[in-house]
Structures are given as structure tokens and as C-alpha cells.
């Protein structure tokens, strides 16, 4: 029974985005392991508070990640 754990910074992805993440990750697992795995594939989304996730020693904020999604650095 696959368990896919996804961590996201809170406030970046809306409910539709998260639903798409769940669907596409489940589809990816099914593509690898076969259709029988669909009903037993778990996807868990954990949201981390803005600023409580760091990369290279620098905390990331929701605003910075939203800017990255738009293809540019935050102001």
C-alpha cells in the first residue's frame, strides 16, 4: 500500500491545486505499479507554516514560493 507524503508551504496552493496534486501523484503510482494500486494509494498533504521551511539556511515564505510559481523572485 503506497503512501505518498507531500509537504507544502501553507497558503501557496489552493484546494484545486491540492486536488490535482493528489490525482496526478496517484496516477503516477498507478502507471508504475498497475491499476490495482489505485484504491490503496494514499496521498497525504502536510502544510508547513510560512517561514518554517528553509532552503540553504534561508527560511522560505509563502510569498516567495508564490513568486517562484509565477517564474520570478519575490520582491
Question: If you count DSSP H runs as helices and E runs as strands, how many of each does the chain have, helices first?
Answer: 2, 4
pLDDT for residue 54: 94
pLDDT for residue 69: 86
Look up the pTM and report it: 0.84
The structural domains of the chain, ordered by start, are 3-70 (3.30.429.10)
Q: Count Cβ atoms below 10 Å from residue 62 Cβ, excluding itself.
A: 20
Contact of 49 with 11, CB cutoff 8 Å = no
pLDDT for residue 38: 97
pLDDT for residue 42: 98
For residue 75, is pLDDT > 60?
no
pLDDT digits (tens, 9 = 90+) for 15-70: 999 999 999 999 999 999 999 999 999 999 999 999 999 989 999 999 999 998 88
d(CA 9, CA 22): 16
d(CA 71, CA 51): 20
Amino acid at each position: 500500500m503506497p503512501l505518498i507524503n507531500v509537504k507544502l508551504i501553507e497558503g501557496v496552493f489552493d484546494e484545486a491545486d491540492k486536488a490535482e496534486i493528489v490525482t496526478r501523484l496517484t496516477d503516477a503510482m498507478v502507471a508504475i505499479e498497475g491499476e490495482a494500486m489505485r484504491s490503496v494509494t494514499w496521498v497525504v498533504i502536510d502544510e508547513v507554516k510560512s517561514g518554517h521551511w528553509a532552503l540553504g539556511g534561508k527560511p522560505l515564505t509563502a510569498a516567495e514560493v508564490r513568486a517562484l510559481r509565477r517564474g520570478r523572485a519575490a520582491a
